[in-house]
Structure formats: C-alpha cells, structure tokens
A and B are shown apart, each in its own frame.
Chain A
Amino acid sequence: MKTLFTVILTMLTSVILAQEPLVFDTTEQEARFIKLTTELRCTVCQNQNLADSDAPLAQDLRKEIHKMMLAGQNNDQITTFLVDRYGDFVLYRPAMKGNTLALWLIPGVLLGIGAITVFFTVRSRNRKLTAQRQEGSN
C-alpha cells in the first residue's frame, strides 16, 4: 500500500516537474496568470485551456504571457495580442460583437421560448381544469 502510494506520488511529481516553472514577482500576479490562462483556449488541443495543456505551443504561449505580465502588460493587452494572432477562438468568453452576437443571444432566446411555452401550456391546462371543475360542480 505504502509502495503504491509512493509510486503514485512520484508519478504526480514528474507531471508537475514536466511543466516549466514560471516565477512571478507577486502572488497576485501569479493568481492573475492562472485565471487568465484558464480563460484562454489552447489552439492545438481545442478542448483544453492554456493552463492545462501540455502541447508545446501552449507552453510557448504561457511563457509569452508570463513575459508580457512581468513587463507590466494588463489582461486586455495580453488578450488582444492573442486575438490578433489566433482570433476570437482563443477566448472562452468572447467579446460581444457582430459575429459573436448569435453565440451570446441564442441561449437567452431559447430560454425565452421555453418560458413562453411553459406559460401557455400551464395556462391552457389551468383553464381546462377550471372548466372541468365547473362542469363537475354543475
């Protein structure tokens, strides 16, 4: 049991060590880095974010973002840097504008259609029940 535990622990450490260590000036900066990279999509393995991905390009991009952060760039500047090169696709939360409007509005529209459907169904059922009850009492 103890051996198994050691083996698993060793494997986990090697995974962590495989990622290049990035050194930050402050813990706030590190927190900002982690938050930002989880909101950015890895373009190579597209269902992973930049923070999680082990793809070489993701490592390069993390290094680049790290460098920009140490140079004092803010999140908007870093995001713009990536969008200029890879497009809105890198953003898990793309800005609301012409071509992303549908993306933002469709969920709301669908919810609205659902609400209206429920409203009318409930109302007509209510009326039917009331009518039945009245017939019963007559």
Chain B
Amino acid sequence: MIGRLLPVIIFLALGVLLAFGLKIADHKTEIPSPLIGKQMPAFSLPVLGQEETMVSDQDLLGKPFLINVWASWCPTCRYEHPVITDLAESGIVRVIGLNYRDEAADAQQWLRRFGDPYDFSLADLSGRTGIDFGVYAAPESFLVDARGIVVFKQIGAMTPEIIEQEIIPRLQSGSKVQ
C-alpha cells in the first residue's frame, strides 16, 4: 500500500518544494540585513557639495529618516529617483542620501540633471560606510527610527507599494513608541 502511495507522496513533496522555489525566485539574491532591529553603524561623513561640513550618525537622531543609497553610475537609482522625490516632497519622512562609491563631480551633476530631493547627501566616496551598512547593490534604502534603530531595509528600487506597505506603517507605529 505504502509502496504505491510513495511516488505520489514524493511527487507532491517535490511540487511543494518547486512552488516554494518559484515564489522566492525574485528575491533569491536579496540578503536579509543583520542590521534590522539594531543601532545603525556609527559614521562621520562630509556632505556632498559642502565638503567641510561633517555629519555623524548622532546628528541625525531625534526624528525618523530614510537613508537612500545612490550613485551616479547606478541605473536603477535613476529609475527609482521619481519615487524617492515624491516621498521626500510628501514630507512623510526625512530623506537623506548616501552617495556611495561615486565621484563628487559626477554625483553633483547627476543631482542637477535629475533634481535633488535629499535634505543632503552624505559623501561616502570610498564606500567604507557602505560596508558598515552592509550595502552590496545600490540602490538600497534604510528606514531608521528616531533613536537610530534600523527598522527596515529595501534592497533595489523603492516603489510606491513599498512606501505604502512597509514605510508608512512603520512610521506610524514608531510615533506611538516615542
């Protein structure tokens, strides 16, 4: 009896496995960030365009903010740019750029050409702060709460759906905590 059922059971098990594989196929290359729920890494970086002004992680505390990792060499950054612009203009959350592994001149030209939605951009030209944030594929966005805890990370382009479903709910629940 079990001998006859065995092929059916194996077939079903394989089916479940493959269906699961298909479901996660789009997100397979995304690496879950170990930073979620932890304090954001410490840094002190110059502001893009005002190299004498240094900003540290401590300077950003007090209000939730979104760190958007971007670069002029990154095509997907250009693709998500209108979404980031809309988010910044809506005033829902403070948006800060992290200009990652870029040339200052290229970065500033990029902002002149496509618009600068950021409060300011931190210039991480060497990419060292990017490593501390676990950045591996721009664009990436980190939602950080008022105390500096990373509450959400988006790998790849920001979309209106993600703002609606992931960012806004976290901002609302965050405001209750404070």
Binding site for B on A (CB under 8 A): 43-44, 46, 56-57, 60-61, 64, 83-87, 89
Q: From DSSP, what is the main secondary structure of chain A's interface residues? A: helix
Indicate which residue in A56, A57, A84, A86 contacts B31 across the interface (CB closer than 8 Å): A86
On chain B, the residues within 8 Å of A84 by CB distance are: 34
Bound together, the chains give a CA A83 to CA B33 distance in angstroms of 10
Shortest CB distance A17–B (Å): 22
Bound together, the chains give a CA A98 to CA B18 distance in angstroms of 24
B118 at the interface (CB under 8 A from A): no
Instruction: Determine if B132 and A85 form an interchain contact, defined as CB atoms under 8 angstroms apart.
Output: yes
18 contacts across the A-B interface (CB closer than 8 A): A43-B136, A44-B136, A46-B29, A56-B127, A57-B127, A57-B131, A57-B136, A60-B127, A60-B131, A64-B131, A85-B34, A85-B35, A85-B131, A85-B133, A86-B31, A86-B34, A87-B31, A89-B31
Bound together, the chains give a CA A61 to CA B130 distance in angstroms of 11
Q: How many contacts A-B (CB < 8 Å)?
A: 39
Q: From DSSP, what is the main secondary structure of chain B's interface residues? A: loop
Bound together, the chains give a CA A61 to CA B134 distance in angstroms of 11
Instruction: Determine if B131 and A87 form an interchain contact, defined as CB atoms under 8 angstroms apart.
Output: no
Bound together, the chains give a CA A85 to CA B38 distance in angstroms of 11
Bound together, the chains give a CA A86 to CA B30 distance in angstroms of 11
Shortest CB distance B106–A (Å): 15
Beyond known contacts A43-B137, A84-B34: 19 more, CB 8 A cutoff: A44-B137, A46-B29, A56-B127, A57-B131, A57-B136, A60-B127, A60-B131, A64-B128, A64-B131, A83-B34, A85-B34, A85-B131, A85-B133, A85-B134, A86-B134, A87-B31, A87-B32, A87-B33, A87-B34
